[in-house]
Chains A and B, each alone.
Chain A
Amino acid sequence: MKYEPVIGIEVHAQLKTDSKLFCGCSTGFAAAPNHHVCPVCLGLPGTLPVLNRKAIEYVVRTCIALECEVSPASRFARKNYYYPDLPKAYQISQYELPIGRNGKLTVRAGGKEKTIRIHRIHLEEDAGKLVHDASGGSCVDYNRTGIPLMEIVTEADVRSSEEAVAYLTSLRSILQYIGVCGANMEKGEMRCEPNISVRPVGAEEFGTKTEMKNLNSFRAVRLGVDFEIERQIDAIENGERIVQETRRWDEATQTTQTMRSKERAHDYRYFPDPDLVPVEVSASVLERIRAKAPELPEPRRVRFISQYGLPEYDAEVLTGTKAMADFFERAAAIHNDPKAVSNWIMTELMGCLNESGKTIDECLVTVEDFTALLGLMGKGVISARMGKDVFKDMFASGRPPAEIIKEKGLEQMNDEIAISEAVEKVIADNPGPAADFRAGKKQAAGFLVGQVMRLTGGKANPKIVGRIIEEKLLSE
């Protein structure tokens, strides 16, 4: 029998606010445990939450980007359960009235366009962190407690690991574009939990689903989803029953394992949080946020083609991340040759990034130094060949190109008298090839140019060398 996977994806994205969702504690990464805490986020008796306006704005911005309906009135609810990293023994979240509903995101997977519907987007607070200690007990750090999380839930529209990765890649890019989330999966800024079931192709009914956790990279998502689909199909074919449960992706064994079964039914006893009042996003506030909304990846890609005359492929690659697209646009504004800027970004810069495993944000080369290098090549101060070496040095050291060129003495030799002297010496030392050239064998010129370059330590401007060789040999 043929099976079809049915996948829904829940993403928790950490919002880039300065302070926590309900108190003034910093959201910054703190090395020492329990340092970014206060009576409110510790849930001490008598304390009360006060909502961070920016967090609401960020969720609304996301709703706009994902074409969600923004609820005119939303509210917070308490999700009650006991866990030592949850200081109040309830999480302030949203239940009946989330901020956003019924959105969509169109992605490209396998050469086809696919629209994935967004079920809901809501805001909630993060919990703390448990560290298991040697004594068998656990240690609790509440620094993360109260950091704003946006939960984005899709409908069960995803049909393959490829579509799952395409959705997450596109979502990450959008969240970065609109500036609401760093969306780095490795750093835990974006956490993804797919729920997966399989059913015979053509069946209407859903199979029993499992939820997966601990997917910390796109690669893990691809491998984990594929593994789970296979596991479920195998189980069904062996006549086993799929258990509704949470499974954990294990990097070491590249398998999923049972984390907890849902035998004891959850009963979170959601009810409206009486400490917080409803949030109403009025039409005018929605308009204001919409007007300030940054450009999204797709319109930017189209604009890159029309405004800069870039090929489709270049536009797609450059707009893949906001940071890269910003780098391109700032560079193109300084160096007025968009295609050259694009070529250098796509080959040299991206090559170096790939090799080093760095992101554009971690790159030491500034836009100013980058365009300065393009300028030096354009003016012939150094050759394109030299330029590539200089760029590698810039990428590694962060130094400006002029300094590197000067230090290494890489300036191109454009002095015609000096080049003439070198050409004369080479013709004198290589009578055979010189004769061949005179006799009309154009290929011989390449050898002679190479000899001049060798003689000048690679500095001579090859264009000038070629012209002088021609002048000398053909005018005789």
Chain B
Amino acid sequence: MKLTREEVREVAYLSRIEMTDEELDRMTGQLGAILDYADMLNELDIEGVEPTSHVIPMKNVMREDVVKESCGVEKALMNAPDRFGDFFRVPKVIDEGEGH
């Protein structure tokens, strides 16, 4: 599977990281080398093997439906790069087909 610069451009967009063409080229080379290395996994027979996402078998970890005091609006906003009253403020939202 050879990685193309256009694919890397799309991944950079999905990751919301701005990159110049030059950076994209370098990234394409580096990611390509890592993915080539990862192709080593194709040597293994994984037929019928279940994936492991939790290594310690645990289930049903839950809390009771009890309200706890919130942290307060000042703590919530203490690191805000820009605030407006009790809101976080951000630049204009343009809809890019995501959101809900």
Contacts and interface: CB of A to CB of B under 8 A. Distances in A.
A137 interface: yes
B2 interface: no
A26 to B, nearest CB: 5
A83 B99 contact: yes
Identify which of B58, B88, B92, B96 gathers the most chain A CB atoms within 10 Å of its CB.
B88
Contact of B65 (A53, A267, A269, A272): A53
A441 interface: no
B41 interface: no
B78 to A, nearest CB: 11
Contact of A34 (B61, B88, B91): B88
Nearest to B62: A53
Interface of B is mostly: loop
B98 A52 contact: no
B14 interface: yes
9 contacts: A19-B65, A26-B67, A39-B71, A50-B62, A131-B87, A140-B87, A260-B96, A277-B59, A279-B60
Nearest to B71: A38
Contacts of A34: 73, 76-77, 86-88
A376 to B, nearest CB: 44
B86 A53 contact: no
A241 interface: no
A42 interface: yes
A138 B92 contact: yes
Contacts of A466: none
Interface string A1-42: 000000000000000011100011110000011111111001
A418 interface: no
Interface residues of A, number: 59
Given A137-B89, A137-B90, A278-B54, A127 B100 contact: yes
Contact of A53 (B14, B63, B95): B63
Interface in B70-84: 70-73, 76-77, 84
A83 B70 contact: no
B93 A84 contact: yes
Given A26-B70, A83-B100, A18 B65 contact: yes
A19 B90 contact: no
B98 A274 contact: no
Contact of B61 (A24, A131, A277): A277
Interface string A379-395: 00000000000000000
B84 A277 contact: no
A277 to B, nearest CB: 4
B1 interface: no
Given A34-B76, A138-B89, A51 B68 contact: no
B96 A279 contact: no
Interface in A335-372: none
A13 to B, nearest CB: 15
A33 B88 CA distance: 10
B34 interface: no
Nearest to B95: A260
A473 interface: no
A277 B100 contact: no
Contact of B58 (A127, A131, A137, A277): A277
Contacts of B86: 32-35, 141
A85 B98 CA distance: 12
Contacts of B72: 35
Interface in A128-161: 130-133, 136-142
Interface string A433-457: 0000000000000000000000000
Contact of A140 (B58, B88, B96): B88
